[in-house]
Amino acid sequence: MCRLFALHADQPVTAKFWLLDAPYSLRSQSRYNADGTGIGYVDESGISQVRKRPVAAHASSAFTHAAQTVRARTIIAHLRLSSGTRHTAQNTHPFLMDGILLAHNGVLEVTQAMRHRVEELGAARHVHGSTDSEWLAALVAGESAAHAGDLHAGLVAAIGWVVRHVPVYSLNLLAAREEELYALRLPETNELWVLERPDSPRRGPLDQSSDTLHARSEDLGEVDSVVIASEPMDEDPAWRLLEPGELLSIGEDGRVRRETPFPRLAHPLHLEDLNLSAATSQMHAAQDRALAERRARIAAARAAGAATPDSAQEISA
């Protein structure tokens, strides 16, 4: 399945640590998700920008350069594993529509009713490729415009409409504009994780290791940041799995807010309901095994920290 990543910080930073250097960086994950790479960000003037190509991140010098040089408070990245559509720039995430950045992981059916709703909202002009994700992004942009530019209201309206009317396998997504960042996990099919790293004089540099890699970031050790990802990217026990249906939002003040505004899917899809390409895109046995092992290690570290408060402070510092 595709991989999502977002970083929100209280001052402009690079995401180099998470994109290139972390034990389970996006570059390393791209060996399983090689059909497209994109980085979206909000620049210092508040303008949303996108850099994307239909190539694997680990083979892209442009991805490496962007990861090292883009500085922003809000950054979104996506690794694509195609569910059957072509490997083109138009089909590569994130999508940028009316200043809204959106990336999606999952599968939904683009029904005639959904196309009609997007057209009714005047947002069909945004669709240039052939993915379900781009139609979803257009629906969010259209509903946001219909709600006087309110991204939160537009997201709730768009996803609420999809939940009621469209067959859905997974709707995990990231959306951002200006200082706003949203993350949704819906339903429980695919995972989405969050790591909150408040600035602290005791915390020091971000310093993580795996069996084969040691990485350190002075930059990220000095800021209040929130990371959202399809899988934990290091062994920090503070990673938390979003609840099914949870919509997480971060505003200009940096506060993390959680809500569950959506009903259960009216038309849920299961793996056996998908065509071969779509089903294959949602399965990766080796990656799933590695993620299961990482979840177990994080749970064990969290349990050990709860049992010994002093150790817990050392782990999170």
Question: Which tokens sit at 103?
Answer: 């990336």
Which pLDDT belongs to residue 314? 31
Entry field: residues in the chain? 317
Which pLDDT belongs to residue 294? 75
Which pLDDT belongs to residue 221? 66
Per-residue pLDDT of the chain (317 residues; tens, 9 = 90+): 789 999 999 999 999 999 999 999 999 999 888 899 999 999 989 999 999 999 999 999 999 999 999 999 999 999 998 777 788 989 999 999 999 999 999 999 999 999 999 999 999 999 999 999 999 999 999 999 999 999 999 999 999 999 999 999 999 999 999 999 999 999 999 999 999 988 644 445 555 544 444 344 556 667 899 999 999 999 899 999 999 999 999 998 889 999 999 999 999 998 888 877 676 667 665 566 677 777 888 888 888 887 654 433 332 32
DSSP 202-216: TT-SEEEE-SS-EEE
Q: State how far the Cα of 151 lies from the Cα of 179, in Å rounded to an integer.
A: 11
Distances (CA, A) of 74 to 4, 23, 90, 92: 14, 22, 22, 19
Among 51, 130, 47, smallest CA distance to 88 is for 130
pTM to 2 decimal places? 0.87
Cα dihedral across residues 53, 57, 59, 65: positive or negative:
positive
Reported as a single tens digit per residue, the pLDDT across 58-95 is 999 999 999 999 999 999 999 998 777 788 989 999 99
Which CATH topology does 3-316 take?
A: Glutamine Phosphoribosylpyrophosphate, subunit 1, domain 1 (3.60.20)
Which pLDDT belongs to residue 308? 54
Question: Which tokens sit at 257?
Answer: 């807010």
Which pLDDT belongs to residue 255? 92
Which pLDDT belongs to residue 114? 98
Reported as a single tens digit per residue, the pLDDT across 155-204 is 999 999 999 999 999 999 999 999 999 999 999 999 999 999 886 444 45
**For the chain, what are the domain ranges?**
3-316
Which pLDDT belongs to residue 289? 65
Which pLDDT belongs to residue 212? 40
DSSP 144-183: HHHTTT-HHHHHHHHHHHHHHHS-BS--EEEEEETTEEEE
